[in-house]
């Protein structure tokens, strides 16, 4: 950019500021961001950039340069940023789900091939057994020899079939685990299994309306952990958290699942909201006091780092579907975060 171009830009900016009657540095910063920096951001499409600029300048045209007006502008920009973060998180979640589905498909194909191969092998063995049996019978030996020989052959055949059956059963169990559990946090169910579980539970709720509660758990400042210590440390934090949560949930038969990102859900049947809040506080306290140490080349660091969680608790209400149930827990979670984090918040209908 040459001197003349820079001078023209400054004149243009001065004209904008004069038009809006702006001299407050905070407001000048907003205009500079929207006019100069927004266009260089790569996370927005050109259409989205234009939309943001139009809406912000429409707000500026009201010439409300009070503190309330400034907060309104910041809230608008914050909304756009959060929408972008949400989109990126969704894309990452979809990519993870795609990888998980591909892994599941590969394992299903492998098991089907194994079953097909097992059937072919068993048919060949049965054919061979028939031929051997005929050969023994036609050998001209006495009856007791023939019976003993055929019995031994039959027992060997049964042992082989049983071994193949055990191998197939083991592969089937592995397939079930792949289908229902998170590929990284192996102690937690995945989102697919959670959705199926909630669907079944909602059907039961319509019939008996038993107490049903949910916790939505999220690591506080998780991005800072990744940025400061690396993604391996972030993954280790999530694994440690999943172990803590699973250890608590197993005591009251809670269904644990990774909801997305670093959010983890526990669904608790036959548990009232006030009891669920107490259980949530126990998890929050254990996480806060957990002696977490980063691994480097397989060795634990000498100095621990502390991480905390915020937890939202909701109780199912008559007429709710799974969506309303999850939304209530999510709303309570963000109330906990907005009130300072490392807290438990309970959703209460207005």
Active-site position among 67, 262, 281, 349: 262
Per this entry, what is the length of the chain? 350
Per-residue 3-state assignment (H helix, E strand, C coil) for 171-190 = HHHHHHHHHHECCCCCCCEC
Quick count: other Cβ atoms within 10 Å of Cβ 146?
16
Find, among 327, 312, 253, the residue nearest to 277 by Cα.
312
Read off the tokens for 143. Answer: 């009856």
Angle between the 191-208 and 143-180 helix axes, to the nearest 10 degrees?
A: 90
- By the 8 A CB rule, do 62 and 100 touch? no
Find, among 287, 266, 286, the residue nearest to 275 by Cα.
266
Helix (H, G, I), strand (E, B) or coil at 252: helix
CA distance 126 to 161: 10
Is 288 an annotated catalytic residue?
A: no
Q: Spell out the residues 6+ positions from residue 181 whose beta carbon is closer than 8 angstroms to its own.
A: 187, 188, 189, 190, 193
Find, among 194, 213, 335, 198, the residue nearest to 271 by Cα.
213
Q: Show the beta-strand stretches assigned E in 270-348.
A: 295-296, 299-300, 309-315, 344-346
CA distance 81 to 117: 54
Angle between the 67-137 and 191-208 helix axes, to the nearest 10 degrees?
A: 100
What's the distance, CA 92 to chain centroid?
Answer: 10
Find, among 43, 39, 42, the residue nearest to 56 by Cα.
39
Catalytic center residues: 262
């Amino acid at each position: 950019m040459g001197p003349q171009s820079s001078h023209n830009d400054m004149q243009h900016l001065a004209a904008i500021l004069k038009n809006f009657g702006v001299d407050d540095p905070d407001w000048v910063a907003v205009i500079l961001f929207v006019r100069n920096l927004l266009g260089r951001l790569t996370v927005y499409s050109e259409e989205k950039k234009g939309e943001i600029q139009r809406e912000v300048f429409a707000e500026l045209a009201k010439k409300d340069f009070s503190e309330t007006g400034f907060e309104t502008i910041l809230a608008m920009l914050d909304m756009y940023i959060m929408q972008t973060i949400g989109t990126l998180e969704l894309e990452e979640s979809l990519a993870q789900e795609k990888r998980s589905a591909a892994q599941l498909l590969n394992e299903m194909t492998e098991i089907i091939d194994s079953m097909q191969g097992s059937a072919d092998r068993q048919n060949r063995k049965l054919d061979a057994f028939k031929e051997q049996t005929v050969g023994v019978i036609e050998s001209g030996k006495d009856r007791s020899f023939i019976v003993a020989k055929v019995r031994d052959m039959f027992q060997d055949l049964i042992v082989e079939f049983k071994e193949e059956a055990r191998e197939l059963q083991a592969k089937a169990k592995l397939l079930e685990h792949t289908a229902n559990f998170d590929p990284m946090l192996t102690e937690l169910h995945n989102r697919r299994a959670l959705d199926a579980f909630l669907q079944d539970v909602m059907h039961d709720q319509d019939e008996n309306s038993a107490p049903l509660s949910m916790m939505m758990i999220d690591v506080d400042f998780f991005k800072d952990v990744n940025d400061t210590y690396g993604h391996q440390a972030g993954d280790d934090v999530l694994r440690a958290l999943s172990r803590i949560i699973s250890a608590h949930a197993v005591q009251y038969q809670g269904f644990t699942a990774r909801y997305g990102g670093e959010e983890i859900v526990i669904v608790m049947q036959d548990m009232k909201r006030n009891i669920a809040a107490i259980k949530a506080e126990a998890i929050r306290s254990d996480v806060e006091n957990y002696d977490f140490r980063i691994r480097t080349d397989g060795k634990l660091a000498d100095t621990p780092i502390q991480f905390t969680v915020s937890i939202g608790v909701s109780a199912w209400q008559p007429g709710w579907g799974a969506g309303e149930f999850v939304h209530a827990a999510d709303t309570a979670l963000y109330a906990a975060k907005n009130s300072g984090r490392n807290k438990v918040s309970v959703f209460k209908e207005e």
